[in-house]
Amino acid sequence: MVLLAAGCSRAGDATTATGPGRVQSNATVVRAVDGDTVVVRVDGVDEKVRLIGVNTPESVDPRRPVQCFGKIASHHTAQLLPPGTPVRLVRDAEPRDRYGRLLAYIYRGSDGLFVNLELVTDGYAIAYPFPPNTAHRQEFAGAERAARSSSTGLWASCPSPTKQ
């Protein structure tokens, strides 16, 4: 059985501090799959995790061509979460998606970085509200507006980023 922190709140509320900016981890990154999916080890079990509330351009879906900024977003996620990185997974309303992946907000253990939000803020992902998992919808929407207005990341490189 996989145990994750339940609830949805800001990083400071959802985690237990273990030092300046640090959060108590409940999983370890095994690898990044693409920009919005990672594999983590939780209680000795490898689990595929889909980051809630964000969507990055496709880079590995065999049914679709690689989308504009897809490989770059995937590489950025791999840089933010290299193998061995301790992370805190925080759930929202649903524990898994229709593909069986865990759904989570991810906070990096070393500094508490809210990875989902960072991807949108830096223009590697778009906000992707998917009810009922919408605890950070407003935060993600605001970050997307700011990234778009400043032509950050994919907003400078791609003709029409989509929510697909």
Residues serving a catalytic function are 50, 58, 101
From its phi and psi, is residue 84 left (phi > 0), alpha (psi between -120 and 50) or beta? left
To the nearest 10°, the Cα dihedral for 126, 59, 133, 47? -150
Stretch (H or E) spanning 51: strand 45-51
- β-pairing, 102-108 vs 27-34, is unpaired
Q: What's the CA gap between 117 and 83, in Å, rounded? A: 20
Q: Collect all residues with Cβ–Cβ distance below 8 Å to 29 and sequence separation of at least 6.
A: 38, 39, 40, 81, 82, 83, 84, 85, 86, 87
> What Rg, from alpha-carbon coordinates, does the chain have?
15
